[in-house]
C-alpha cells in the first residue's frame, strides 16, 4: 500500500490524478494540500474539495501556499479555465470542508510521525514542499519518496525553455531538486507522450457513475482547450505520477542531477540536466506505456462507480 500526500493546484489533469488515486486499491490518500498554481489558492482549494466530494475521498484537505517564494505569481487559466476547473458543475458539498491549520505543517507532521512510509506527490509548483523542507529539514531523509510532475529537457510549455510548474516557482524547484531527497520526476519529455484521443474520450462517455461523469466533463474542456490552441491531443501530465506509484514497471528512467536556471531572464525556470549518477540525483522518467496507463484509468473509474 502506497501512503501518499497529494499536493495539488487542482486543474483538469490534477482532477484525473485525484480520481486515479482514489480508485486504485494500492493507493491510500493520507491528505491533500491545495497550493497556488494553475489558478489562485482559493480556487484550487475549492476545486480540490469539490473533486474529493464527488469521488468520495474522506481524507483531509488543507490550504497550502498562496504565492511563490520569490517571483511574481503566474497562472495557467488559459488551459484550465477561469475557475481552474472549467467544465464540471458541482453541487453544494455535504462532507468535504477545508481543515483548520497549515497544509505545510500537515506534511511535516505526517512524515515525521511515519518515517519512510509517506510519499509526497506534488503535481503543481513545488512551493509547499520547499517551505516544508526549510521549516523541518529532517523530512528530507524521512520521506519515502517525492514523485513530482514538473520540468522539461525538450523545451517548455509556458516559455520556450520552461515547463509551467517549475516556471511558477523556480526557487522552490531548485530547493527540492537539490535537496538530496529521493526524487522521481515526470517532465514534459515523458508526460507529453501519454495523451487522450477523441475516440478514447468518446468511449469514456459510455462509463457510468459520478466519477466517470466528472472525468469526462474535465476532459471535454481539456480536449477543447488543446484543440483551440492547435496543440493536438491533451497530455496526461499529473496522473502519470499516480500511475507510477501503482505500477512503475512500464516506465523507462534515467538518473542524473537536476537544477533550475534562476539567473538568466530568457531561460528563467528552465530545468538543467546535470551529470548522470548511479545513486542520488533525480530519477527522471523518459517514457511510459500509454495502453497500460489507460487500463489503470479504466480500473479506477469502474471501481469508483
- pLDDT tens string 236-258: 999 999 999 999 999 999 999 99
- 78 band by pLDDT with thresholds 50, 70 and 90: low
> Is the pLDDT confidence value at 4 over 70?
yes
CA angle 87, 80, 165 (to 5 degrees): 150
Question: Among positive and negative, which fits the CA dihedral 206, 210, 212, 215?
Answer: positive
Catalytic-role residue among 9, 13, 86, 238: 9
Q: Residue 236: how many CA atoms within 13 Å on its side-chain side?
A: 30
* Mean pLDDT along residues 288-294: 96
- pLDDT tens string 119-144: 999 999 999 999 999 999 999 999 99
pTM of the model: 0.96
Nearest 10 degrees: Cα torsion 77, 240, 209, 90 = -20
Specify whether 9 is catalytic: yes
User: Which helix (DSSP H) or strand (DSSP E) does residue 117 occupy?
Assistant: none
The architecture in CATH of the region 2-303 reads Alpha-Beta Complex (3.90)
- pLDDT tens string 48-70: 999 999 999 999 999 999 999 99
Amino acid at each position: 500500500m502506497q501512503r501518499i500526500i497529494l499536493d495539488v493546484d487542482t486543474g483538469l489533469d490534477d482532477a484525473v490524478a485525484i480520481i486515479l488515486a482514489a480508485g486504485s486499491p494500492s493507493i491510500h490518500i493520507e491528505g491533500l494540500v491545495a497550493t497556488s498554481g494553475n489558478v489562485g489558492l482559493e480556487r484550487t482549494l475549492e476545486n480540490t474539495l469539490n473533486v474529493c466530494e464527488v469521488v468520495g475521498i474522506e481524507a483531509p484537505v488543507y490550504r497550502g501556499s498562496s504565492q511563490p517564494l520569490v517571483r511574481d505569481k503566474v497562472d495557467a487559466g488559459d488551459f484550465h479555465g477561469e475557475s481552474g476547473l472549467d467544465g464540471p458543475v458541482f453541487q453544494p458539498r455535504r462532507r468535504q470542508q477545508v481543515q483548520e491549520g497549515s497544509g505545510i505543517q500537515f506534511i511535516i507532521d505526517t512524515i515525521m510521525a511515519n518515517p519512510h512510509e509517506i510519499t509526497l506527490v506534488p503535481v503543481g509548483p513545488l512551493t509547499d514542499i520547499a517551505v516544508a523542507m526549510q521549516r523541518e529539514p529532517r523530512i528530507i531523509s524521512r520521506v519515502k519518496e517525492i514523485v513530482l510532475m514538473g520540468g522539461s529537457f525538450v523545451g517548455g510549455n509556458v516559455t520556450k525553455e520552461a515547463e509551467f510548474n517549475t516556471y511558477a516557482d523556480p526557487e522552490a524547484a531548485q530547493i527540492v531538486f537539490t535537496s538530496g531527497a529521493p526524487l522521481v520526476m515526470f517532465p514534459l519529455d515523458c508526460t507529453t507522450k501519454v495523451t487522450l484521443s477523441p475516440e478514447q474520450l468518446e468511449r469514456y462517455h459510455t462509463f457510468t457513475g459520478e466519477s466517470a461523469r466528472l472525468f469526462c466533463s474535465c476532459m471535454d474542456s481539456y480536449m477543447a482547450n488543446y484543440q483551440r490552441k492547435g496543440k493536438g491531443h491533451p497530455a496526461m501530465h499529473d496522473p502519470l505520477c499516480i500511475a507510477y506509484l501503482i505500477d512503475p514497471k512500464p516506465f523507462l528512467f534515467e538518473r542524473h542531477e537536476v537544477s533550475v536556471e534562476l539567473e538568466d531572464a530568457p531561460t528563467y525556470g528552465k530545468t538543467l540536466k546535470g551529470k548522470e549518477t548511479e545513486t542520488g540525483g533525480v530519477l527522471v522518467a523518459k517514457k511510459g506505456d500509454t495502453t497500460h496507463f489507460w487500463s489503470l484509468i479504466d480500473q479506477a473509474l469502474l471501481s469508483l462507480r
